[in-house]
Amino acid sequence: MRSLVKIVHSKKGAALIATYLAIAILLAFGSYVIEVSNSQNSAANTFKRQAQAVSIAEAGLDRALLWLRTQGTPPTGTIAPISQNIPPTGTALGSFTVTLTDLGSPGGSASIRRYRVRSVGTIGSTVQTVTNYLQTDNYARYIWFTDTESYQGTNVWFWDQDHLNGPTHTNGHFNIKGDPVFDGEVRSVDNYIRYYNNGSNINSSNLSNPPYDVPVFGDTVTLGSDSINMPTQALNLRAASTNGGLRLTGNSTVVLNANGTMNVTNAARGWTNYNMALPGNGALFVRDGNLNLSGTLSGRLTVGSSRDIIITNNILYANDPRLPGSTSTDTLGIIAESDVIIDEDAPDDLEIDASIMTLNTSFMLEEWWTNGARGTLSVFGGIIQKQRGPVGTFSGTTKVSGYSKDYNYDVRLLSSPPPFVPTTDDYITLSWEN
């Protein structure tokens, strides 16, 4: 009996020890859970404060952009920092301080200004920094820009053989027949697209008119976009042509040479095929006359005319920036205060490497309705015009006259446009970092 009691007491002791061990493990686990929970709460609070500080810093970027837009002309030199509590009245949650640094004019484009905008957002002891690189907006950044997609009241159409691979904008609406390709951003001030078959007007909920008109949109399509007003004169270019550039009077001819020179014919100067260097500041303007233009450019240049600019032959870059590994800076701007016209005797399958801008009318082919199909008009750069000018006609899926279009965007024009191109009085973001 005595041995049995000992055995019972031994089992009770083992059970008690096991219970204590279980309790200890549970207490340790509970402490661990509490510690992990506290750690997670702390991390969550830290993340929350960091996100709030980033939001405050981003509010600083918005405030700096608003300030730039109210300055009239892009500021230069040293710019005083901007500081503000958030919210600006009452008890402050946090604050931002924004520093704007003038980075000058890229690539010699004096009408363009670039800035680094660095905003520091603070909430309590948490500090976050975000940075934008801004630049004055300019029309050269578009592959296609129009005030209206009609010519003398008649709709002009994109059709099957048309291809655009850069950003587009119209202050009206686009007219589409068949299956043209838009690889870049598409923006229209009107809230619809007009399609050729059945005259359908398609809104943003349906961007095609199958099975007849099915354009290919490779990027975003924004209908009801804000309007962007075009200037009527190339004021920056006019001024620059008399201050380090070349100003000509009367009808003129310029042939660009691959060695960085040009041959100029101008009766008022007594020049016939006169060979000279490109203008030192890259500005050439013809007053009270037309400008005939052709050749191969080596350098940076913007040419303009108070009347028409007539393209008589191919206009190419001596150093093609599309080639792999190219570091070409060849850049051409063509700005007519009236029309840019492709001469009817220009070659078939014509190529123009330039940002082309017509401030009062159109970019068009002379007698576009005659002389049969002319092959393809290749533009490497962009076309900006008040009225959309025609370069040919079609019947069904057949080209009847003029050129089909192959318009390719020169991405360099976003950050390094031609000298003295007009600006839109706004700013664009080139890059963002935090």
Q: Residue 128 pLDDT more than 90? A: yes
pLDDT tens track for 7-40: 444 555 555 665 656 555 555 555 655 555 555 5
pLDDT at res. 152: 87
Q: Residue 4 pLDDT more than 50? A: no
**Considering the domain boundaries, does residue 61 fall inside one?**
no
Q: How confident is the model at residue 93 (pLDDT cuts 50, 70, 90)?
A: confident
283: enclosing H helix or E strand: strand 283-287
Strand pairing partners for 213? 209
pLDDT average, residue stretch 361-388: 93
**Considering the domain boundaries, does residue 12 fall inside one?**
no
pLDDT average, residue stretch 355-381: 94
| Residues 157-177 as b or e (16 or more Cβ within 10 Å = b) | bbbbbbbbbbbbbbbbbbbbb
Q: How confident is the model at residue 358 (pLDDT cuts 50, 70, 90)?
A: very high
Neighbour order of strands in the sheet with 126-138: 82-86, 94-104, 114-123, 126-138, 423-433
> Which residue has tokens 């006359």?
289
pLDDT at res. 129: 95
Could you tell me what percent of the chain has a pLDDT over 90? Answer: 66
List the Cα angle 307/312/318 in 5-degree steps: 110
Q: How confident is the model at residue 2 (pLDDT cuts 50, 70, 90)?
A: very low
Question: From the centroid of its chain, how far is CA 360?
Answer: 23
pLDDT at res. 8: 44
- CA–CA dist 27, 180 (Å, integer): 71
Average pLDDT, the chain: 88
pLDDT average, residue stretch 324-336: 96
**Considering the domain boundaries, does residue 257 fall inside one?**
yes
pLDDT at res. 6: 46
**Considering the domain boundaries, does residue 93 fall inside one?**
no
Q: How confident is the model at residue 341 (pLDDT cuts 50, 70, 90)?
A: very high
* 278: region left, alpha or beta (phi > 0 left; psi from -120 to 50 alpha): beta
Q: Residue 3 pLDDT more than 70? A: no
pLDDT average, residue stretch 354-380: 94
pLDDT average, residue stretch 276-288: 97
Mean pLDDT highest for which of 192-201, 203-212, 226-235?
A: 226-235
- CA–CA dist 244, 280 (Å, integer): 6
- Its pTM stands at 0.82
**Considering the domain boundaries, does residue 431 fall inside one?**
no
**Considering the domain boundaries, does residue 187 fall inside one?**
yes
**Considering the domain boundaries, does residue 249 fall inside one?**
yes
Sign of the CA dihedral running 379, 385, 388, 393? negative
Q: Residue 200 pLDDT more than 80? A: no
Domain count, the chain: 1
pLDDT tens track for 232-248: 999 999 999 999 999 99
Q: Dihedral through CA 275, CA 279, CA 285, CA 289, nearest 10?
A: -10
- CA–CA dist 329, 327 (Å, integer): 7
Sign of the CA dihedral running 425, 426, 431, 434? positive
- CA–CA dist 280, 267 (Å, integer): 22
pLDDT average, residue stretch 74-96: 90
**Considering the domain boundaries, does residue 75 fall inside one?**
no
- CA–CA dist 166, 143 (Å, integer): 5
How far, CA to CA in Å, does 150 sit from each of 55, 188, 202, 370? 44, 14, 18, 19
- CA–CA dist 107, 331 (Å, integer): 10
DSSP string, 314-334: EEEESS-TTSTT-----EEEE
pLDDT at res. 395: 81
pLDDT at res. 7: 42
pLDDT average, residue stretch 312-333: 96
pLDDT at res. 81: 95
pLDDT tens track for 288-308: 999 999 999 999 999 999 999
pLDDT tens track for 238-274: 999 999 999 999 999 999 999 999 999 999 999 999 9
Tell me the residue range of the domain where 236 lies.
140-424
pLDDT at res. 1: 45
Mean pLDDT highest for which of 67-76, 282-291, 396-405, 415-424?
A: 282-291
pLDDT tens track for 156-196: 889 887 888 899 999 999 999 989 999 999 999 999 999 98
Sign of the CA dihedral running 385, 390, 395, 398? negative
Closest among 134, 129, 133 to 434, alpha carbons compared = 129
346 and 313 in contact (C-beta within 8 Å)?
Answer: yes
